[in-house]
Every structure is written in structure tokens, then in C-alpha cells.
Amino acid sequence: MQATQTRVARTFRKTTETFAAGAKTLAQRYFVSPEIFAREQANIFSKQWVLVGHQSQIAQAGDYFTADVARESLIIVRDKRGEIHGFYNVCRHRGSRLVENRNGHVSAIQCPYHAWTYGLDGPLLGAPHMDDVPGFDKADYPLHPVHLALWEGFIFVNLADSLTPLDKWLAPLTGKFFRWNLPALRSAKRIAYDVQANWKLIFENYSECYHCAGVHPELSKISPSDSAENDLTEGPFLGGFMRIASDKSLTMSSKTCALPVGDFGNEDFRFVFYYSIFPNMLLSLHPDYVMVHQLEAQSPERTLLLCDWFFHPEAFKRSDFDPDDAIKFWDMVNRQDWHVCELSQQGISSRAYKPGPYSARESIPAAWDDYYLRQMS
């Protein structure tokens, strides 16, 4: 056990060691300006790899879901060979939206307007009454593809024409999370939260526990708010770990609710890891489950969050599996967070707001702001 503690201590650096003196919160315009929001859509969400889901959501050929990225609707679908594709949700005939449901199962993608029909891998298969059109060739009208790639079972898309491959973009994280078996996990529950706050406030809130003692008393009893240490302290990937009290889990009962998601030593059960992956993924790694927040910025003052709780696939077969124990705990903590984020949005909108100084326990939000501003410039 002591050896494990030593290994962890060498891997992580305390938050205060990376704090930049004089750092302040962002100016008001970054949270309320429609012009800034439009720039974010153009400079960030239209040009970077964005999380849209997990491969377990489309386990079978013909399974699909839709995703909204930078004001574009996308179809994410698994074809008959098992490959996953991403397409713009736009018919090649007269531009109709092809799919209206958030998810479902199809044998082909058919336009509801004039019944143009596409294969699950994109080609136009049928176009009624178009054979009489001189020069018309179905091969010229496949669905418009979007760049798609997988990382640890999670599906990312990129709308840019010129881009860095996902594996190179995420190279600093290679092998970091292998113990949690992320590709194999399955979601037991998804909750969608409609939060009346800017998406950046949610990232900043997630990235510090300065607020935890007052806002999250239930969480702080199990995971001390002053136990945070970080190993990723600059750039697009930020975070580290917090300690869990001995023999406890982050659940309503404070007991483990499922099989371990990976092969952990006894001491490793005493840590929960929190990472933000720019621009829209929050990854929370527990010994017995993994929680993921996927952010969809809707406006300067509104964010949709899709929260999934992932468990080991074998856990679903056991009689003692109780995912609600974890889900209810974090649903409570989530709502506490969203409430203070909304209060922040309301206060920042005031003419009285001025950027305030970050504390030494808020080095990660300060680092996140720095990276964000570089992307905006």
C-alpha cells in the first residue's frame, strides 16, 4: 500500500505548485456576448475534435444517433460491416433534414420529403423518378461525410477540412486510462440537463473544488475538498485526482455499487480522477463506474449537458448491481453545480461584474481560461 501511495505522489503535483499569481476570471463579454459565442462556434467547435457519444450507443448495424455540433445536425450510424460513420443530416436532393429522432434503428437512411434513400455507409441507393433526368448518376450524390474517429470507445467528429488526426491530438493521453476499460463499458443511464449558464462556467466549476465544502456537503464527507492534486496542468487536457475515504464510494449509500470497471489495487480504490478534455468532455473515473459529461453550447447563456454513467458489462448480469446508487448521488451533485453555475451567469450579467482574482486552489480554471483565450485568438 505504501508503494502505491508513493507512486501516486510522484505522478501528481499539487494544485498550488502550478498557480499563476495574478490570474483573474474572464471578462463579462465572454459569457454574454452573441458575437463571442459566434466566434466560439467558428474558431473552436467548427475546427476541433468534439465528443458526440460512445460506441456502445450504436452496438448493432443500423443503430444511429444524431448530434449537434456548431449548429450542424449530424447522423452517427453503424453500417452492416460494423464500421461507424458520420454524415451531415442533409439530403442531397433539396436539402431536407433526413433524421428527426435523437436515436433509433434503420436499414437505410431515407429522406422523408422525396424518399431519396442512402446506404448506412453513405451512397445514394435510390432516387424515385430521377432515371429520366439526363446525366443523373446516383454515384454523384452520396451523403456528405464528416470526419469521425474513435478514442477509448468514444466517438469524436471534426467539421474542419484541414485537421490533426484524433490519435495525434490526444497523444498526451495515450495509455493513461487503459485500466478503466473505457471501450468495453456500457451506459446504464443518461440524463440531459438544460443549464441556463455559459458552457465555460461549467468547465470552470468542474475544474476546482474550492466550492465543494459549501456547495457539496455530501460529496465532501466522502472525498475531502482539499485533497485535489493534478498531473495535467496546461493545454487542452487538465485535471488530476481526489481522495476517497477508506472503504467508501461516491454513491448515496457510500458503498461500492458495481463490479470494478478495471483491475485496481486496494489502494487505488481510494482515488477518483477528474479530467476535462477541451472543448466539450468531462471525464470522471471512479473505481466502480465512469461518469462522462458531454457539453453542447446552445447560446451564450444556455448549455445542454448529456451525462452518462458507464459500468463494466458484466456488472449488468449481477443481482447486486445497483447503478442508481451512483446515479442518484451524482444527479444530486450535478444539480448543485448547475445551480451555482446559473447564479454565476446571473451575477456576471450584471453591470457591477468585474473579473475577480482566482485563488491558489483554482489553478486549473485559470489554466483552462488561458488555453481557451489562445484558441479564440
Please tell me which residue, 9 or 344, carries the higher pLDDT value.
344
| Amino acid 10: pLDDT | 38
Distances (CA, A) of 211 to 216, 224, 225, 234: 8, 12, 8, 21
Which residues make Cβ contacts (< 8 Å) with residue 350, sequence separation at least 6? none
With a cut of 70, say whether residue 347 has pLDDT above it. Answer: yes
Confidence of residue 7 (pLDDT cuts 50, 70, 90): very low
pLDDT over 90 percentage in the chain: 88
| Amino acid 246: pLDDT | 82
Which residues make Cβ contacts (< 8 Å) with residue 352, sequence separation at least 6? none
Q: Where are the domains of the chain?
A: 2-48+179-376, 50-166
With a cut of 50, say whether residue 197 has pLDDT above it. Answer: yes
Q: Which run of H or of E encompasses 191?
A: strand 186-195
Distances (CA, A) of 194 to 50, 87, 159, 285, 348: 19, 26, 24, 23, 19
∠ CA(376), CA(228), CA(306), 5° rounding? Answer: 55
With a cut of 70, say whether residue 12 has pLDDT above it. Answer: no
Please return the burial class of 140, using the count of CB atoms within 10 Å of its CB with bins 0-12, 13-18 and 19+: exposed
Domain 2-48+179-376 shares a fold with domain 50-166: no
Fold of 2-48+179-376: Naphthalene 1,2-dioxygenase Alpha Subunit; Chain A, domain 1 (3.90.380)
Three-state DSSP state, 112: coil
| Amino acid 21: pLDDT | 63
Which residues make Cβ contacts (< 8 Å) with residue 168, sequence separation at least 6? none
Q: Which run of H or of E encompasses 103?
A: strand 103-105
Confidence of residue 17 (pLDDT cuts 50, 70, 90): very low
Cβ(255)–Cβ(249) under 8 Å? yes
Which residues make Cβ contacts (< 8 Å) with residue 217, sequence separation at least 6? none
Q: Whole-prediction pTM value? A: 0.93
- Cis ω on the peptide bond leading into residue 279 (within 30° of 0)? yes
Please state, as a whole number, how many other Cβ atoms lie within 10 Å of the Cβ of residue 213.
13
Return phi, psi of residue 190, to 5°.
-125, 130
Q: Let me know how many helices (H) and strands (E) the chain has, helices first.
A: 9, 18
With a cut of 80, say whether residue 50 has pLDDT above it. Answer: yes
Confidence of residue 268 (pLDDT cuts 50, 70, 90): low
Which residues make Cβ contacts (< 8 Å) with residue 109, sequence separation at least 6? 64, 75, 77, 87, 98, 99, 117, 118, 119, 120, 143
Cβ(148)–Cβ(121) under 8 Å? no
Edge-to-edge order in the sheet of strand 117-118: 109-110, 117-118, 124-126
Render pLDDT for 270-303 as a digit per residue (tens, 0 to 9): 899 999 999 999 999 999 999 999 999 999 999 9
Distances (CA, A) of 135 to 116, 124, 138, 139, 141: 17, 15, 10, 11, 12
Three-state DSSP state, 317: helix
Cβ(51)–Cβ(294) under 8 Å? yes
Distance of CA 148 to the CA centre of its chain: 15
Render pLDDT for 120-136 as a digit per residue (tens, 0 to 9): 999 999 999 999 999 99
Largest CA distance in the chain: 78
Q: Which run of H or of E encompasses 237?
A: strand 237-243
What CATH number does the domain located at 50-166 have?
A: 2.102.10.10
Angle formed by the axes of helices 323-348 and 199-206, to 10°?
120
Return the closest-CA partner of residue 284 out of 315, 45, 294: 294
What is the total residue count of the chain? 377
Cβ(268)–Cβ(256) under 8 Å? no
∠ CA(276), CA(218), CA(337), 5° rounding? Answer: 40
Render pLDDT for 147-194 as a digit per residue (tens, 0 to 9): 999 999 999 999 999 999 999 999 999 999 999 999 999 999 999 999
